[in-house]
Homo-oligomer: A and B are copies of this chain.
Amino acid sequence: MKIAIQGEAGSFSHEAARRMVPGCTIVPCKRSVEVFDRVERGSVGAAVIPIENSLAGSVAEHFDLLLERKVFVQREYRLRIIHNLIAAPGVKLKDIGRAYSHPVALEQCRELFRRNPGIEPMPFYDTAGSVKHLVENRLRDAAGIAGRQAAQEYKARILVSGIEDDKRNFTRFFLVTRRRRVLPGANKTSVAFSVKNLPGALFKALSVFALRDISLSKIESRPRRGRPWEYIFYVDFLRGDDQAARKALGHLAEIADVVKVLGIYPAAE
């Protein structure tokens, strides 16, 4: 099965895709819109996208795309994020003067830079892309910061493993398909909706869940793309495609302007 990911081969999305769909073929895309284009067009069987990191928060663009595009979330997965300092084979830690990575990854490895003041953090587009870059350009004085998968992909070497400051660093991924399919054991639903006025309206909207004893596991208001200070709400609730959930969603449609079920899937772990 072909799986589109945003970013280079060897990225955390690649790692998540491999675990979610063992034996899959990765289709790396430069941009997230391209990932969604491919799913909609059917040139891949699915996409694997990061949706939320326990330290950095939500991936806003992916929430927007899930709302805009005709796709369906079929599964979720939680990946423990382990960063590694990776260099070309033969390069030693003492040779390293710069470490390339995505700004978010650099921020998550502050302690490494504090302990090694001779290594300068260098922002790069992509974690795995930084490793690709230094291998392709045969850099002998630079390293990349990325997941284990990147070292494997580009035949590079891990100099230091587990360099993330906070070990409780997880990213939640979605498997996104074109076709709506609810897997057996699905017990979690992601829904997006908008309400006109926020005062009582949001409260009323949430009542459709509370009155049915349906637990929420996430709520987030996001500015509506291009409409400053209008909001879309993203809510995850802990029910699959059952009677109570359907009634709650029907009730929600009475209250909210737009309601879109983004996916129904088995909760991770």
A221 to B103, CA, bound (A): 23
Contact A168 to B220, CB < 8 A, known contacts A199-B215, A214-B199, A215-B199 = no
The reply to whether B218 and A210 form a contact with Cβ atoms under 8 Å apart is no
Closest B residue by C-beta to A124: B123
Q: Mark A146-157, 1 if CB is under 8 A from B, else 0.
A: 000000000000
User: Is A206 close to B, CB under 8 A?
Assistant: yes
Q: Which of A66-74, A84-92, A179-187, A227-235 contacts B (4 or more CB under 8 A)?
A: A227-235
Closest B residue by C-beta to A33: B110
Q: In the complex, which residues 138-166 of chain A have their Cβ closer than 8 Å to any Cβ of chain B?
A: 166
The reply to whether B55 and A223 form a contact with Cβ atoms under 8 Å apart is yes
Contact A54 to B228, CB < 8 A, known contacts A215-B197, A215-B198 = yes
Closest B residue by C-beta to A53: B223
A61 to B110, CA, bound (A): 14
Q: Which 7 A-B pairs have the closest CB atoms?
A: A57-B60, A203-B210, A199-B215, A54-B228, A54-B223, A168-B226, A198-B216
Q: Mark A187-225, 1 if CB is under 8 A from B, else 0.
A: 000000000011110110011011001111111111101
A206 to B195, CA, bound (A): 16
Q: Output the least CB separation between A191 and chain B (Å).
A: 14
User: Is A52 close to B, CB under 8 A?
Assistant: yes
The interface on chain A, measured as residues whose beta carbon lies within 8 A of the other chain's beta carbons, has a size of 46
Q: Which residues of chain B are near A125, meaning CB under 8 Å?
A: 103, 123
Q: In the complex, which residues 104-125 of chain A have their Cβ closer than 8 Å to any Cβ of chain B?
A: 123-125
A217 to B202, CA, bound (A): 10
Q: What are 22 pairs between A and B in contact, CB < 8 Å?
A: A54-B223, A54-B229, A55-B225, A56-B60, A57-B58, A57-B222, A57-B223, A78-B228, A103-B123, A123-B124, A123-B125, A168-B228, A197-B215, A199-B216, A200-B213, A202-B216, A202-B219, A203-B209, A206-B206, A218-B231, A219-B220, A220-B220
A61 to B168, CA, bound (A): 16
Residue of A58, A124, A170, A213 with most partner-chain B CB within 10 A: A58
Q: Which residues of chain B are near A225, meaning CB under 8 Å?
A: 55, 166
Contact A221 to B218, CB < 8 A, known contacts A57-B58, A199-B213, A213-B199 = yes
Q: Which residues of chain B are near A102, meaning CB under 8 Å?
A: 103
Residue of A213, A214, A223 with most partner-chain B CB within 10 A: A223
